[in-house]
C-alpha cells in the first residue's frame, strides 16, 4: 500500500483527577492523535504517548510533532509499504524519538489490519480473546485516601494493584496496604526515584510479598539494577530503561530484571514490542503492558498487544472511564471483574468517535504524501 495522507491532531482531554508519580503530576492530558489514509480513503489511527514535559522520558508533544512533521513524514514519501514492519525499517535512520515513530507505526498497523479485514490482535499474532488488567494508583495526600482508592478498585475486580512510590512514601505505605489487603496482587512503581545507595530501604520492601518493584533506579540504567536484583527477593521490573530489543537483550544478559513492562511508545512501536515479547518468552521472562494515561486509540493498541501469549501478568490498561468523562472511541474500553474482552472487528476494533475527536482538538494539520 501507499500512504496518501497523514493528519496530525493536538488533543486536550481533561482528566477526572490528577495523577501523581515520583516525577510529577499530570492533569490535563494533551497528546497527538495520528490518522493515516491510504489510496482508497481508509483510515488507520495511532496515538503518541509523549507528555507535554520531558519528565517520564526526553520526548514531548512538541518534539513529537517536530519529528513527525520534519523527519518521519518525509521519510514515508513515495514508499511502498507491504507490511507495518516496513515502517520501523524506514524510520531506522532516525535515532530514538520512539514515541513519535510509534504514533505513526501504530496507525499503519491499524490501517494494515483493516485492509486485511482482520482484528489488529490477530495481525500481531495474539492468541487471547480476553486480557487481565490491573490498575496503577498515583501518590495521594494521605495513606487513608490511598487505602480508600485501593478498596474501590479491588471491589471493581482489578486483578493487581500498583502503587506509585518515592522516598518518604514507600515502606510505611506498603505496610499499611498489606495490613488492610493481605492477599491482593500488589506491586510498587518508583519511576526512577532511587539510587544504588538506597538499597537498604528497597530491601525493606521484600517483607510485603510484592509481585515486583518497577523501575527503582535511573531511567537509563541497567547496570545498577543488576546489582540490586541480586540483593532483592522481590523481582525487579524494568520500564523506563528498556527502549528497544537490544536494551532488553542486554538487561536479560546482565540479570537487571526478572520482568519487563512493555510500553509500545517507549520502544518505538508494535513491531519492536513484539520482538521484545518474543525474546522474553524465549528466556522465560514474563511481560506485561504498561500504560501512559492513554485515550481510546492508545488503549486499543495496548489491548491488542496484550493478547500475545507471554503477557502473563495483568497490565495497566484500565477502563476508559477511569480517566475520561468521554473517550474518543466507541464503544469505550470496559473492564469487568478485571477482564477486557478483546474486540474482534478489523483493525483496532473500536470506532473513532469523530465528534469527540473534534471537540478535544486544539490544532489540526493535514500532510499529503
- The verdict on whether residue 110 carries a ligand-binding annotation is no
Q: Is 291 in the site for ligand OSB (CB under 6 A)?
A: yes
> Among candidates 33, 62, 37, which has minimal Cα distance to 368?
37
Q: How many residues bind ligand OSB (CB under 6 A)?
A: 12
By the 8 A CB rule, do 195 and 167 touch?
A: no
> Among candidates 60, 38, 42, which has minimal Cα distance to 51?
60
- The verdict on whether residue 239 carries a ligand-binding annotation is yes
Looking up cell 514519501 gives: 77
Taking the complex as a whole, the smallest distance from the CB of residue 284 to ligand OSB amounts, in Å, to 23
- Tell me the HSE value of 177 on the side-chain side, using a 13 A CA sphere: 31
Q: Which of 162, 164, 166, 274 is catalytic?
A: 164
Question: Catalytic site residue 263?
Answer: yes
Q: How many CB atoms lie within 10 A of CB 229?
A: 20
Q: Which of 37, 101, 159, 263 is catalytic?
A: 263
By the 8 A CB rule, do 301 and 47 touch?
A: yes
Residues 109-168 that bind ligand OSB (CB under 6 A): 136
By the 8 A CB rule, do 112 and 124 touch?
A: no
Measured from the CB atom, the residue of 37 and 263 that comes closer to Mg ion is 263
Q: Is 314 in the site for ligand OSB (CB under 6 A)?
A: no
| Single residue of 110, 132, 189, 272 touching Mg ion by CB under 5 A | 189
- CA 53 vs. chain centroid, Å, equals 17
Which residues share a beta bridge with 189?
A: 164, 214
Out of Mg ion, ligand OSB, none, which partner does residue 293 contact, by CB within 5 to 8 A per kind? ligand OSB
Q: Is 211 in the site for ligand OSB (CB under 6 A)?
A: no
Q: Is 239 in the site for Mg ion (CB under 5 A)?
A: yes
> Among candidates 254, 178, 253, 170, which has minimal Cα distance to 216?
170
Measured from the CB atom, the residue of 111 and 293 that comes closer to ligand OSB is 293
- The verdict on whether residue 214 carries a ligand-binding annotation is yes
Measured from the CB atom, the residue of 214 and 294 that comes closer to Mg ion is 214
Q: Which residues are annotated as a binding site for Mg(2+)?
A: 189, 214, 239
- Catalytic residue list: 164, 263
Amino acid at each position: 500500500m501507499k500512504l496518501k495522507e497523514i493528519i496530525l491532531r493536538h488533543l486536550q482531554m481533561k482528566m477526572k483527577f490528577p495523577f501523581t508519580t515520583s516525577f510529577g503530576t499530570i492533569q490535563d492530558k494533551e497528546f497527538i492523535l495520528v490518522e493515516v489514509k491510504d489510496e482508497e480513503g481508509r483510515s488507520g489511527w495511532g496515538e503518541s504517548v509523549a507528555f507535554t514535559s520531558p519528565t517520564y522520558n526526553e520526548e514531548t508533544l512538541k518534539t513529537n510533532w517536530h519529528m513527525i512533521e520534519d523527519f518521519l513524514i518525509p521519510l514515508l514519501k513515495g514508499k511502498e509499504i507491504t507490511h507495518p514492519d516496513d515502517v520501523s525499517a524506514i524510520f531506522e535512520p532516525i535515532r530514538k524519538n520512539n514515541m513519535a515513530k510509534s504514533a505513526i507505526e501504530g496507525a499503519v498497523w491499524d490501517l494494515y489490519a483493516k485492509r486485511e479485514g482482520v482484528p489488529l490482535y490477530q495481525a500481531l499474532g495474539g492468541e487471547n480473546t480476553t486480557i487481565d488488567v490491573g490498575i496503577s494508583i498515583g501518590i495521594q495526600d494521605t495513606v487513608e485516601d490511598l487505602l480508600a482508592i485501593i478498596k474501590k478498585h479491588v471491589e471493581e475486580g482489578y486483578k493487581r494493584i500498583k502503587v506509585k512510590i518515592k522516598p518518604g512514601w514507600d515502606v510505611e505505605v506498603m505496610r499499611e496496604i498489606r495490613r488492610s489487603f493481605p492477599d491482593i496482587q500488589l506491586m510498587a512503581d518508583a519511576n526512577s526515584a532511587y539510587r544504588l545507595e538506597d538499597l537498604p530501604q528497597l530491601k525493606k520492601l521484600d517483607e510485603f510479598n510484592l509481585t515486583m518493584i518497577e523501575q527503582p533506579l535511573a531511567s537509563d540504567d541497567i547496570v545498577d539494577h543488576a546489582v540490586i536484583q541480586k540483593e532483592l527477593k522481590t523481582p525487579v521490573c524494568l520500564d523506563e530503561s528498556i527502549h528497544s530489543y537490544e536494551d532488553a537483550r542486554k538487561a536479560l544478559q546482565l540479570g537487571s530484571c526478572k520482568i519487563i513492562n512493555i510500553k509500545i511508545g517507549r520502544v518505538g512501536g508494535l513491531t519492536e514490542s513484539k520482538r521484545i515479547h518474543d525474546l522474553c518468552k524465549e528466556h522465560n521472562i514474563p511481560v506485561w503492558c504498561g500504560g501512559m494515561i492513554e485515550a481510546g486509540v492508545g488503549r486499543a493498541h495496548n489491548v491488542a498487544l496484550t493478547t500475545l501469549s507471554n503477557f502473563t501478568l495483568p497490565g495497566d490498561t484500565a477502563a476508559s472511564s477511569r480517566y475520561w468523562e468521554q473517550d474518543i472511541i466507541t464503544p469505550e474500553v470496559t473492564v469487568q471483574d478485571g477482564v477486557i474482552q478483546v474486540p474482534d472487528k478489523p483493525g483496532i476494533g473500536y470506532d473513532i468517535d469523530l465528534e469527540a475527536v473534534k471537540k478535544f482538538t486544539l490544532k489540526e494539520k493535514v500532510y499529503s504524501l
